[in-house]
Copies of this chain bind each other. A is one copy, B any other.
Amino acid sequence: MVTIKTIEALNAAVDAGFDAQVALTADVVRFPSTRGNEHTAQDFMANQMRRRGLSVDRFLVDLDEIRHLPGFSPVHVNYENAWNVVGTYRAEAPKGRSLILNGHIDVVPTGPLDMWTTPPFEPRVEGDWLYGRGGGDMKAGQVACLAALDAIGRAGFKPTADVIVQSVVEEECTGNGALACLARGYRADAVLIPEPLHDCLIRAQLGVIWFEVAVRGVPVHASDATTGANAIDAAYLVMQGLRGLEARWNERKADYPHYDHVDHPINLNVGRIEGGDWASSVPAWCRFEVRVAIYPEQSIPAAKREIEETILETARGSAFLRNSPPEVTYHGFEAEGYVLSDAEEPVGVLAEAHRAVFGSDLEEVSSTATTDARFFGLYGGMPALVYGPVADSIHGFDERVNLTSLRKVTKAMTLFIADWCGLDPAT
């Protein structure tokens, strides 16, 4: 239990450091840490950790060390620049409860630059918002971890339990960065992941599967198109079949207690498409990439079977596809859903910290996305709390994070650390 006086001191310390925190967030946003390009941002994070006296462990994600583990997602890219960075504060005589603060450094692609009001990797503050790709998802949260530790030091304290700060790669496509941290042996009594949760806590999160569908066509000269088979047209037929699967899965939501009240829990997204080589040739090939959610109780193998059966059934309805069935491959997310359980203790501490700052109860949500929390909760036996600031347009244009919310969330995180880990006067 943190005293009112300590709460006030910590809040004041967050306020005192907030301008620097926003500036540091902007510095991190400036790194274009899309997939395969996270390493320079990670070097920066490592330096920030070192500067704070954390012991830094910078290691490459090694597929051979994780591919046999539950939760692993297959990939078809190389990991030569996929560096994780972990900075650990080790308490001298640990007596509180240890904590992992986890965040991901990778951001999703910007999309066409001309649809951004200002360039995505040139952060700017306007009104109560910080704009930039990754600002919300989730560099503001990552920097908040460091800012919370800064505030504790500034207020004249130090945690009485170990605090492990993880900056991982691959959250947006596989989660293999977080899995590699688990494989490396990092454990704690609880995990906090400050994803942009609109000041709420995730109680349940869906699983996510990525798959690619490859459709073949019969290429002929366009002047004779009716004698060929257009792979792009055929791909759309398959997509329509998959929309049927999405509808059926949404209809089943009543079977899943954490999602029965959610309007449209299962979202199937065709996120990329590519096909054909030449306007005047009937295209011989088309590929598209799909993201679909699954319920926490749905198994990945069963979901894959349904996906494949749906595609085959759609193919059977087409004279051409019947004899040339689409191929499904999986790379990227094979993420199970996760429901936060056996977590009364850390949730209670977070709820109290939240109430102390926001003056209201901590709201719990069922997320229609996935987060790295699943690794800690499902495969590491650690309760993993996902809680973070208000952000808009994550994965969209003009992504932004709200600064008032960020300040409060940072305060709540600081109080959470204080209460969970315990504080001693810094000597």
> Which of A's residues lie within 8 Å of B, judged by CB?
108-112, 115, 137, 172-173, 206, 208, 210, 216, 218-226, 228, 230, 232-233, 236, 239, 263-264, 267-286, 288-291, 293, 332-333, 367-369, 393-397
Q: Which 10 A-B residue pairings sit nearest by Cβ, starting from the closest? A: A223-B369, A109-B277, A222-B269, A111-B284, A271-B279, A225-B267, A221-B395, A272-B276, A223-B368, A281-B395
B272 touches A219 (CB 8 A): no
> Nearest chain-B residue to A115 (Cβ)?
B284
Residues of B within 8 A of A293 (CB): 223
- The docked-state distance in angstroms from the alpha carbon of A276 to that of B284 is 20
| Cross-chain contact A281 with B271 (CB below 8 angstroms) | yes
Number of copies: 2
Cα-based distance from A41 to B173 in the complex (angstroms): 44
Q: Flag if B111 contacts A230 (CB, 8 Å).
A: no
Once the chains bind, are A221 and B396 in contact (CB under 8 Å)? yes
Q: Is the CB of A224 within 8 A of B368?
A: yes
A30 to chain B, nearest CB (A): 20
A223 to B172, CA, bound (A): 12
Q: Return A14 CB to nearest CB of chain B, in Å.
A: 28
10 contacts between A and B (CB under 8 A): A109-B277, A206-B223, A210-B279, A219-B397, A226-B264, A232-B270, A270-B276, A273-B283, A279-B332, A280-B395
**Chain B nearest CB, measured from A365 CB (Å):** 12
CA gap between A62 and B108 in the complex, in Å: 42
User: Which residues of chain B are near A369, meaning CB under 8 Å?
Assistant: 221-224
Question: Which residues of chain B are within 8 angstroms of A263 by Cβ–Cβ distance?
Answer: 226
In the complex, which of the residues B279, B286, B394 contacts A221, with contact meaning CB atoms closer than 8 Å?
B394
A269 to B233, CA, bound (A): 10
- Partner among B216, B232, B395 whose Cβ is within 8 Å of the Cβ of A220: B395
In the complex, chain B residues whose CB is within 8 Å of the CB of A137: 221
Chain B hits for A108, CB < 8 A: 277-278, 280-281
**How many angstroms from the CA of A289 to the CA of B228 in the assembled complex?**
17
State whether A291 touches B284 (Cβ < 8 A).
no
Could you say which residues of chain B place their CB within 8 Å of the CB of A222?
267, 269, 271, 291, 369, 395
The answer, among B173, B228, B276, B288, for a CB contact under 8 Å with A396, is B228
Q: Is the CB of B396 within 8 A of A216?
A: no
A196 to B, closest residue via Cβ: B221
